[in-house]
Amino acid sequence: MTPAELWSAIDKFSGWLDASGYATYDPYDVWGTRYGKLARRLYYKKHPLGAAMTAPLLLMEIGSPGLRRFFVGKDRYATADAQLALAFLNLHKASRKRAGARSAESWLTRAQGLADDLLTQSVPGYRGLGWGYPFDWQHANGLMPKGTPHITATPYAYEVFTRLFDLTGQERYLQVARSIAEFVFADLNDTPTGTDAAASSYTPHDNSKVVNASAYRAFVMFDAAQRFGIDAFQTKAWGNLRFILQCQRDDGAWLYAIGDPSQAFIDHFHTCFVLKNLYKINQELKRPEIDHAIRQGYDWYRKSLFDVHGNPKSYAVAPRLQIVRLEMYDYAEAITLGALLKDDLPQAFALAGTLVSHLTRRYQLPAGHWVTRIYRGGIRHTQPYLRWPQAQLFLAMTNFLIATEQSDAMRDQTGAGVAGFAGARSVSH
């Protein structure tokens, strides 16, 4: 795959996004309706009606997901807006060297517009700015009402505003980032788990011990501690980091959550969340124990969360009823992780290159967006949801673009064969 092909794929998606806009349906929107919430609540209680009520929505999602337009409307999703903004900032950086392309400043303008939109979507009533989902979410342990800010959405907004400040120097972006850090520090709960270790809650209203939630929080707190010179942020971050390191299994894996049998699973993109946040944290800390955890974790991830054909597997141990064969969200996070790890684990970057090639040549549709997932039997789900996984895929492609350009520049400077498109192309799975 050539750089021109990668740019072509990015331009095709950008053209589709220009035409379709930022409002989107979502794979979980129908589950936030009164019927969807009741169906899930009964299902989790193992009530006989639970399976019967969930079946029609599952069948609709598989066979005709567009029917949701009769039950729900499109909405804006802060996670998607933030990830699109980060992709635009990547393209702002990359476009400065690309002749005849959309100007770098136009990408910056689009990112700034989304940053302004994010401010209108933030949730009031907390000690700082946070973001959540615009739908009610019924899960195994209760109901998360729409508008509840949580830690897996908010860090993407934090990255948008810190990157905009670093790029433009505009103080308003730094003030927003500081407010977000205050939410992450003060509004989330800590559950002690060991010596000087604590798990972060998912929202301000729970005491869960979800591992990727702690990883996101630790990343924000370490960055904010350095950026704003606040020791309390760093203390909080270290507690969450120790929790992550202490709950890594001997084989290198992390369960989704600790202490809850219903969440004792290991899946693909949540494992990527943990690894990528640990790597970003250690870019500053440079601690050998974190490096060891990343390498051990990646080794397990590569062996256990890919199939014999090199495709991402959604679960290390598949559920009894597993109808999805390929989930493109997994593709997105695997590519982003590989782009991050390129300097320390070149094999991860090479794998990302292979996945980018597959994504572009097999799964990008003529309209410009990507397939959402592929079910067993080959049924393709082509309804384009921005929050899951179109925004993640677009960000992943731009992350890989930036990583490739950095590798190409290093190769040009040193004359050494640094892994880039050629290296990715030579890997066979």
Q: State residue 426's pLDDT score.
A: 34
In this prediction, residues 53-77 reach a mean pLDDT of: 97
Which tens digit of pLDDT belongs to each residue from 3-15?
Answer: 899 999 999 999 9
Q: State residue 424's pLDDT score.
A: 38
Q: State residue 98's pLDDT score.
A: 74
Q: State residue 406's pLDDT score.
A: 82
Going by pLDDT thresholds of 50, 70 and 90, the confidence category of residue 319 is confident
How far, in Å, CA of 46 to CA of 194, rounded?
Answer: 34
Strand pairing of 324-327 and 197-200? Answer: unpaired
Which tens digit of pLDDT belongs to each residue from 192-238?
Answer: 999 999 999 999 999 999 999 999 999 999 999 999 999 999 999 99
Which tens digit of pLDDT belongs to each residue from 44-61?
Answer: 999 999 999 999 999 999
pTM of the model: 0.94
- Tokens read off for 144: 């998360």
Residue pair 239/299 in contact by the 8 Å Cβ criterion: no
Going by pLDDT thresholds of 50, 70 and 90, the confidence category of residue 420 is very low
What are the boundaries of each domain within the chain?
30-72
Percent of the chain predicted with pLDDT > 90: 89
Q: State residue 130's pLDDT score.
A: 98
Residue 366: CB partners within 8 Å, gap ≥ 6? Answer: none
Which tens digit of pLDDT belongs to each residue from 363-416?
Answer: 999 999 999 999 999 999 999 999 999 999 999 999 999 999 887 666 666 664
3-class SS string, 223-268: HHHHHHCCHHHHHHHHHHHHHHHHCCCCCCCCCCECCCHHHCCCEH
Cα atoms in the 13 Å half-sphere on the side-chain side of 149 = 25
Q: How far is CA 29 from the centre of its chain?
A: 19
